[in-house]
Every structure is written in structure tokens, then in C-alpha cells.
Amino acid sequence: MIPVDGFSGQTVAILGLGRSGLAAARALRAGGAEVVAWDDGPRAAEIAETEGLALRDLTKPGACEGLACLVTSPGIPHLYPRPHPAISNALAAGVPVDNDIGLFFRSLGQGDWMHFDTPPKVVAVTGSNGKSTTSALIAHVLAEAGREVQLAGNIGRGVLDISPPGDGGVVVLELSSYQTELARALTPDIGVFTNLSPDHLDRHGGLGGYFAAKRRLFAEGGPDRAVIGVDEAEGLFLAGQLSEGAADDRVIRISSGQKLTGPGWLVFARKGFLSEYRKGRQVGSIDLREVTGLPGAHNHQNACAAYAVARSLGLAPRVIERAFHSFEGLPHRSQRVAEVKGVTFVNDSKATNVDSAKQALSAFKRIRWICGGLQKEGGLEPLLEAAGEVVKAYVIGREAEDFAMQLKGIEAEVCTDMATAVARAAAEAQPGETVLLAPAAASFDQYDSFEKRGEDFAARVIALSGS
């Protein structure tokens, strides 16, 4: 646990009693704070009693008076589309609003740090797609190299749940826009921006607000080194803002699909090969084509980001390459589930938006595509240009008919549920083809999470294989 510093003897309120809220409550009490809590859910009283927390309805007038801080969970809106009533009360009362990420950064660096030979480092990863894989890959490479590493944030453990890092330790954080937007303290040593595509637009008041939330990690966080994906205009702009010139190697520009040139520090992947350039000269390369845990151009971008971070932390290219080959990937992200009668089944349930599904479609040949779910803004038209390898689509979800109608030029069958989609795709697939779950939509019309959707797909595939 990371005890929260700065609130000893003061009252702090927790809004939301999920994983991050409960971890924050424990860490605040470990730091000497008096903690009260509120949650709109029906189990709030039961959870509070189990944790020994006093419940206070923060939505009532005057409930936030006298608080030193209100700590909110990331899923609770604080501005758009409208603030939660408790947050409105806190702001009206002049009470600072923070989250567990802000508490983590303000409290890290206590205890034995002054006696360490090598101060611990924090690597923070944000972006629209690839955050989880990039974060997990960084942690895997460091662990394989014998470095002390902990993975936390949006993946792994809650940030305040981890152990204080030791001498030379590294903490790798995956951070969503919900987390970077509100944290009052953001001070990573290395910041990573993977890419940007439209997502969570209602929460951020549009694409500009979404980018601004990501940008805070760099503009206000001031990392010593920034690894920036420059395949979109926003990343290119961010890299330009952070660097003092083309040769400023505090910014490492990364790309998948284009060769980067110039005197700076560059890492890019083209045609399956990763290349590292510094001062105009190639200093490292990796053949990614046989790295089975990182299929497709989108995963090659993740590899570039992880490689850049590992190099920043002093690892040699060959050490990184060996670790890449032992990386098995993450569940629900281009995860190879099984091969049945020559047909490969791949679970990419995490492809919850159009851009991530587009990347998944670009990674495989001869695809039987299972898609559909709760659609997000913007429609499906951008997907069509990447659907050249789709033999047929099998559409699930409550909006399956409408979803299928948008797949112009693609043969589509309305299946509605996963059981039907897997059975139909498996029955029609030919050896050498891939049955790919890449929904391009959220799961909440039929499942509690994208993980549950992916688990359902995998279970039905395993049943087919008889293993």
C-alpha cells in the first residue's frame, strides 16, 4: 500500500466504492486521514460497513462543508455530460476534487528513497488504443531483464494498492483519459502517448476535450522523457509542443507503418521490422514477424512504444528482443484462442471502438468477422476500408440489424447472440481462415464487460475444439 500523504487529521470524502475508491480509502486512513464515503449503488451500506467507513450522503446540501478533499472514482463524471451532484456540491464549497492517481503521485517518494542508489521510476501510458498491451509489454520486458517492476492503474492493481517501489524499481501505469483529466498531481518520469481516435466523446465534450485530457499527462506532468506516437495529427502536434527542436531526444517519436527521418530519437516499424534511429543513424532493429504475441501493425506500434521505454531505462536491444518473444499477449486483445480443423479463432473483444476493430481487421487474412454490440458515435464507415479481408460478418447484439445494414459491401448475417455467431462462423469457415471477434462496439447491451464477452466467445470456441 502507498499511504496517502498530506491529510493527517483531516476529513476526506470518497465518492464511489469500487476498486479505486476502496483502495484510496485504505491508503488515506493509513496516512492518518479521517475518511467518509458515498456511493449511489444499492450495496453502499454493506460495503461501507465491511470496510469500517462512515457513510455520508454527499449529494445533500452542506454535506461537503469542512472536507479537505473529495476523491472520486474515474467512472463518475465531473464536468460532461453533467457533473455528479456530489462533485457539484464539493466545487461549490471550494473543496478540491482529486482521484487516486493524483493521490498516488503526491504521496510517492516517501520513506527510504533518500537512501536508494537508484531512485524508482514511474512510466505512465495513455492513448486511445494499445494502452493495456503496451503497459503489460513494458512490465514484461523489465521483469525478463531482472528489474523490479509493478503494473497498476487501469490494468493490474489499483495504484494505491501496490507496494512502495524499492531501489531501482519501476512502476508502470496504464492511465485512461478519465484518470489523467482530473488528477491534481501528474509527475511520471516517462510518459507514453500511443495514439488517438474518437472515444468517450460525451464524457469529454468532444474530441478536443478528449485529447486535452490525454495531453495533461505531458503538459502538466512534465515527464523527463516522452514517447509519442506520431501517426495521427494530435500525436505529431504533441511531439512538436514537447520538443525544443528536431534533435531533442527527450521526445522519442514512434510510428507503425511509416519510416521516420531526422536527427532525433526515432523508433518505427515497417513491413514487420522495428528500427531505432538516433542522430540519423540506425542503432537497433528487431524482426517482429515471428513475435507471435504481437500480431499486426497495431501491435507493432505497441512494440515500438515498449521498446522506446525499455531503451530509455537502459536495456539493450537484444535483451528487449528476447523478452518480446516470450510475451504471450493479453486476454481479449488479438488473443489466439484455438485452431480447429485448420481455422484459427482470435478473441479481440477489447476492440470496443471502430479504430481498434479496424486495426484488428488489418492484422489477419481471410476473416470470418464476429462484430456488433452497443454502437458508439461516428458510425461504421471508417471500418469498411479495412474490411477487404472479411469473407463474411456475423453480427451480434441488440442492434444487430442496424449494425449489419451499415456494413455496405460486406456479406453479413444477423446472429444476435454469441452462440449463434460462433456456430455459424465455425460451420462456414475454411482451413486457413480466421474467425475474429472484433466487435467495434461496447458490450453493455448483452454483457457486463468486454471481458465477459470475450470469455463467452472463448468458451464456445473451446467447446468446439473439444479441449
Q: Is 256 annotated as a binding residue?
A: no
Q: What is the Cα–Cα distance from 438 to 447, expressed in whole angstroms?
A: 15
Q: What is the Cα–Cα distance from 230 to 252, expressed in whole angstroms?
A: 10
Q: Is 129 annotated as a binding residue?
A: yes
Q: End-to-end distance of the chain based on CA atoms, in angstroms?
A: 40
Q: Is 32 annotated as a binding residue?
A: no
Q: Give yes or no for a contact between 304 and 274, defined as CB atoms under 8 angstroms apart.
A: yes
In sequence order, which residues have a C-beta less than 8 Å from that of residue 167 and are 6 or more positions away?
A: 112, 116, 117, 118, 120
Q: Is 449 annotated as a binding residue?
A: no
Which amino acid is residue 429, in one-letter code?
A
Q: Is 127 annotated as a binding residue?
A: yes
Q: Is 466 annotated as a binding residue?
A: no
HSE-up (13 A, CA, CB side) for residue 45: 1
Which amino acid is residue 52, in one-letter code?
G
Ordered DSSP codes for 119-171: --EEEEEESSSSHHHHHHHHHHHHHHTT--EEEEESSSB-TTTSPPP-TT-EE
Ordered DSSP codes for 81-113: S---HHHHHHHHTT--EE-HHHHHHHH-S-GGG
Q: Give yes or no for a contact between 353 and 428, defined as CB atoms under 8 angstroms apart.
A: no
Helix, coil or strand: residue 116: coil
Q: What is the Cα–Cα distance from 210 to 199, expressed in whole angstroms?
A: 8
Rounded to 5 degrees, what angle do the CA atoms 205, 450, 234 make? 40
From the DSSP assignment, how many helices (H) and strands (E) are in the chain? 16, 20
How many CB atoms are located within 10 Å of the residue 456 CB?
Answer: 21
Ordered DSSP codes for 324-365: HHT----TTSSEEEEEETTEEEEE-TT--SHHHHHHHHTT-S
Q: What is the Cα–Cα distance from 313 to 310, expressed in whole angstroms?
A: 5
Q: Is 454 annotated as a binding residue?
A: no
Annotated binding site: 127-133
Annotated binding site for ATP: 127-133
